[in-house]
């Protein structure tokens, strides 16, 4: 008989956390305080089959001492059917309506909880990161893409299908540049790492990496500064919209682009101040994330340790329905 996850008792044993990305899968043991150990990362092929990908995942999972693990938490791109435990991650074409929860539960005998990857990141920042003291916040990841999660009344919004806070596809410039999703003017077109480089090269900057671009901005390069300014303003627009819709007080920014936070944070703060100076919406504090690279992995563990931080009830997302 599979043990069940009880959302009222504090879970002291370690949890196996799994962060499933489009090109790699990270696993680690996560303690209740969010500390991680025994991290492993495997690279996954883009065109592998559903069963092969699952077999690779289960092979890594079986390497852990499952008898000492309280449960398993999984962060993955949406959409996720929480009730059925079925996933169709937008970045993994091989998995469409894939019964991920049942697959891992049958293999391990352990209860499994799922959540959106950026939702997991928001849980990590809420539990042990920059949003610990804030009950109304937005978490944004500026990386290869742009994702995020909302914290409302102290809890992270799990979303109907795991995609609440998909801020990368919030339109910040109607009629603007076309996004990979088909819309015009999405935030991701202006503020993801690859977008920063593409936009800078289009106006004559020479370089290949977002970090180079941000370093150039720091050094006073006018072209780089122009692109960073546009990105910061796009992020500020998304923050202002979150403030208008959810009355957030805090924006937590993470992801690779924010590694150069000495460049991006002041730029976003200035843009937020410009965008929100009318005073109708309460001011929003903008800070860097505490767990830039590991937020999703830590959060995947914490959705098992701290289900109270997620709006999803355990009944809708646990082994025994």
The residues that touch Zn ion, with contacts defined as CB under 5 A, are 169, 179, 181, 183, 186
Output 123 or 167, the one with its CB closest to Zn ion. Answer: 167
What is residue 282's DSSP assignment? Answer: P
Residue 162: CB minimum distance to Zn ion, A: 17
Which among 127, 155, 146 is positioned nearest to 239, based on CA atoms?
Answer: 146
Residue 241: CB minimum distance to Zn ion, A: 15
Start-to-end Cα distance in the chain: 14
Residue 190: CB minimum distance to Zn ion, A: 11
Output 162 or 301, the one with its CB closest to Zn ion. Answer: 162
Output 115 or 189, the one with its CB closest to Zn ion. Answer: 189
Residue 286: CB minimum distance to Zn ion, A: 23
Output 13 or 181, the one with its CB closest to Zn ion. Answer: 181
What is residue 132's DSSP assignment? Answer: T
Those residues whose C-beta lies under 8 Å from the C-beta of residue 293, and which sit 6 or more positions away, are none
Output 96 or 178, the one with its CB closest to Zn ion. Answer: 178
Residue 295: CB minimum distance to Zn ion, A: 22
**Gyration radius (Cα) of the chain, Å:** 20
Query: Helices 295-305 and 117-128, interaxial angle, to 10°?
Result: 80
Those residues whose C-beta lies under 8 Å from the C-beta of residue 315, and which sit 6 or more positions away, are 321
What is residue 93's DSSP assignment? Answer: T
Residue 41: CB minimum distance to Zn ion, A: 28
CB 252 within 8 A of CB 268: no
Output 169 or 259, the one with its CB closest to Zn ion. Answer: 169
Those residues whose C-beta lies under 8 Å from the C-beta of residue 238, and which sit 6 or more positions away, are 138, 140, 167, 170, 172, 187
Residue 263: CB minimum distance to Zn ion, A: 24
CB 57 within 8 A of CB 150: no
d(CA 29, CA 27): 7
Residue 186: CB minimum distance to Zn ion, A: 3
Output 108 or 241, the one with its CB closest to Zn ion. Answer: 241
Three-state secondary structure string covering 9-55: CCCCCEEEEEEECCCEEEEEEECCCCCEEEEEEEECCCCCCHHHHHH
Output 25 or 146, the one with its CB closest to Zn ion. Answer: 146
Sign for the pseudo-dihedral over CA of 217, 221, 224, 227 = positive
d(CA 145, CA 201): 18
Output 99 or 185, the one with its CB closest to Zn ion. Answer: 185
Tokens standing for 305? 């340790």
Residue 178: CB minimum distance to Zn ion, A: 9
């Amino acid at each position: 008989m599979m043990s069940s996850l009880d959302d009222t008792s504090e879970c002291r044993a370690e949890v196996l956390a799994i962060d499933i990305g489009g090109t790699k899968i990270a696993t680690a043991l996560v303690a209740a305080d969010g500390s991680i150990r025994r991290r492993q990362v495997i690279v996954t092929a883009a065109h592998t089959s559903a069963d092969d990908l699952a077999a690779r995942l289960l092979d890594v999972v079986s390497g852990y001492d499952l008898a000492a693990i309280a449960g398993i938490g999984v962060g993955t791109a949406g959409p996720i059917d929480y009730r059925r435990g079925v996933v169709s991650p937008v970045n993994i074409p091989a998995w469409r309506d894939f019964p991920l929860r049942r697959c891992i539960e049958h293999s391990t005998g352990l209860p499994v909880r799922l959540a959106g990857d950026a939702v997991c990141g928001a849980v990590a920042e809420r539990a042990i990161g920059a949003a610990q003291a804030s009950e109304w916040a937005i978490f944004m990841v500026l990386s290869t893409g742009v994702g995020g999660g909302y914290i409302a009344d102290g809890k992270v919004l799990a979303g109907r299908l795991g995609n609440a806070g998909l801020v990368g596809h919030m339109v910040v410039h109607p009629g603007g540049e076309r996004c990979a999703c088909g819309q015009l003017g999405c935030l991701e077109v202006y503020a993801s790492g690859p977008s920063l480089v593409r936009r800078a090269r289009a106006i004559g900057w020479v370089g290949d990496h977002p970090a180079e671009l941000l370093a150039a901005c720091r050094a006073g390069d006018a072209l780089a500064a122009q692109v960073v300014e546009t990105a910061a303003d796009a992020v500020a627009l998304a923050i202002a919209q979150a403030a208008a819709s959810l009355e957030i007080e805090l924006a937590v920014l993470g992801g690779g682009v924010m590694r150069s936070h000495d460049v991006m944070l002041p730029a976003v703060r200035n843009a937020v101040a410009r965008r929100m100076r009318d005073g109708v919406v309460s001011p929003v504090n903008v800070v860097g994330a505490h767990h830039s690279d590991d937020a999703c992995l830590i959060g995947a563990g914490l959705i098992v340790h701290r289900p109270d931080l997620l709006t999803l009830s355990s009944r809708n997302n646990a082994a025994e329905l």
